[in-house]
């Protein structure tokens, strides 16, 4: 990417030869900031792009573990170095509650920003393809909470740009301001069935008694994408993750529709007893945060599961990279 005048600040060194760098991008609704991994040497070939979306009141810096503490999705930095990926983590915009977030599809989430976040993410993808050798056939989006709901919007409105999405602690809007998804897309949903903020069985998203719009049940979100892709009701595989810590009272089960990892798939990882937090082995949340969001599963890495789901899939509608 052309650094001047976009480059703002070198945030932190990342192991194995890449840096996390902050940039500004001018947009019709104001300047927007994002973080991107920049390798020391220019890649010899195109590389997959991962767009990571933080939750409501979060930041890109926090998501990538560049602030205080370790963030579960910061494991993406290790994966990027290992697999040769390009990561982009944009910041959302401030809504009426003065908290940073995304203009997702919940029509009655009145505190969400009203920025053109679909257009912002489209511009980021296009810039990464033209300036950073991102592979247009291998663009993936992962989001947590409000960022996961934004990922669902991107899947519905930018299917020509995106190959697959993964969400954590998120579902689709019950009362949507967006057009219905019409194009096949592979989707992985990770959700805790004891989530106190985004109810697994559907209903109002809430935080400290403040409601933020209703969502459909997680199983209904899975069904919407499974039917759109054209997969049968019977899953291809069902497996339970090996339990790692007897003190962890949660458990995790993976259900996968579609047997071919190179083709259309829809996946659900249901965390029995799990809360509103990304499962992680390496990066554990503290007791104060856990009291708010509920139990964190420690049987797998959310980022690793998302990459395993993404890595063999290509977007047949995207141009072939030169």
pLDDT tens profile 191-202 = 999 999 999 999
Q: With contact defined as beta carbons under 8 Å apart, do 46 and 133 qualify?
A: yes
CATH of the domain at 175: 3.40.50.1820
Q: With contact defined as beta carbons under 8 Å apart, do 64 and 36 qualify?
A: no
Instruction: Sort strands 47-53 and 86-90 into parallel, antiparallel or unpaired.
Output: parallel
Q: How confident is the model over 206-250, as pLDDT tens digits?
A: 877 677 899 999 999 999 999 999 999 999 999 999 999 999 999
Q: Is position 1 within any domain?
A: no
**Per-residue confidence band for 6, with pLDDT thresholds at 50, 70 and 90:** very low
Mean pLDDT, the chain, rounded, equals 91
Q: How confident is the model over 283-307, as pLDDT tens digits?
A: 999 999 999 999 999 999 999 999 9
Of 271, 251, 262, 266, nearest to 313 by C-alpha is 262
Q: Is position 318 within any domain?
A: no
pLDDT at 273 over 70: yes
Q: Is position 297 within any domain?
A: yes
Q: How confident is the model over 115-152, as pLDDT tens digits?
A: 999 999 999 999 999 999 999 999 999 999 999 999 99
Q: What is the mean pLDDT of residues 22-39?
A: 93
pLDDT at 8 over 60: no
Q: How confident is the model over 308-317, as pLDDT tens digits?
A: 999 999 998 8
- Percent of the chain scoring above 90 in pLDDT: 84
- In order of 160, 197, 220, the CA distances from 216 in angstroms are 25, 13, 6
Q: Model-level pTM?
A: 0.93
Number of domains in the chain: 1
| Whole-angstrom distance, CA of residue 277 vs CA of residue 185 | 24
Q: Is position 316 within any domain?
A: no
Q: Is position 80 within any domain?
A: yes
| Whole-angstrom distance, CA of residue 89 vs CA of residue 291 | 27
What's the domain range around 251?
7-310
Q: Is position 304 within any domain?
A: yes
DSSP 91: -
Q: Does 279 or 207 have the greater pLDDT score?
A: 279
**Per-residue confidence band for 322, with pLDDT thresholds at 50, 70 and 90:** low
- In order of 85, 102, 272, the CA distances from 154 in angstroms are 20, 11, 28
Q: Is position 320 within any domain?
A: no
Q: Is position 239 within any domain?
A: yes
pLDDT at 320 over 90: no
């Amino acid at each position: 990417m052309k650094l001047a005048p976009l480059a703002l600040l070198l945030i932190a060194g990342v192991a194995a030869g890449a840096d996390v760098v902050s940039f500004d991008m001018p947009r019709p609704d104001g300047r927007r900031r994002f973080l991107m991994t920049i390798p020391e040497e220019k890649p010899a070939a195109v590389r997959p792009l991962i767009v990571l979306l933080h939750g409501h009141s979060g930041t890109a810096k926090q998501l990538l573990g560049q602030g205080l503490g370790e963030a579960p999705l910061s494991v993406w930095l290790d994966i990027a170095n290992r697999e040769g990926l390009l990561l982009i983590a944009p910041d959302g915009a401030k809504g009426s509650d003065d908290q940073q977030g995304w203009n997702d599809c919940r029509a009655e989430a009145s505190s969400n920003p009203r920025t053109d976040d679909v257009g912002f993410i489209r511009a980021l993808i296009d810039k990464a393809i033209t300036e950073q050798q991102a592979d247009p056939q291998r663009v993936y989006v992962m989001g947590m909470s409000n960022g996961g709901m934004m990922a669902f919007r991107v899947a519905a409105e930018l299917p020509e740009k995106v190959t697959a999405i993964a969400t954590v602690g998120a579902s689709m809007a019950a009362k949507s301001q967006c057009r219905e998804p019409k194009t096949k897309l592979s989707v992985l949903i990770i959700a805790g069935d004891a989530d106190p903020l985004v109810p697994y069985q559907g209903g109002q998203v809430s935080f400290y008694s403040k409601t933020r719009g209703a969502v459909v049940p997680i199983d209904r979100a899975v069904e919407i994408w499974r039917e759109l892709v054209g997969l049968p009701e019977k899953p291809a595989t069902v497996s339970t993750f090996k339990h790692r810590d007897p003190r962890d009272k949660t458990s995790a089960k993976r259900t996968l529709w579609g047997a071919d990892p190179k083709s259309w798939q829809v996946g659900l990882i249901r965390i029995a007893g799990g809360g509103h937090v990304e499962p992680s082995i390496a990066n554990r949340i503290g007791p104060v945060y856990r009291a708010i969001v509920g139990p964190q599963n420690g049987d797998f890495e959310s980022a690793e599961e998302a990459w395993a789901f993404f890595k063999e899939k290509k977007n047949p509608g995207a141009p072939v990279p030169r």
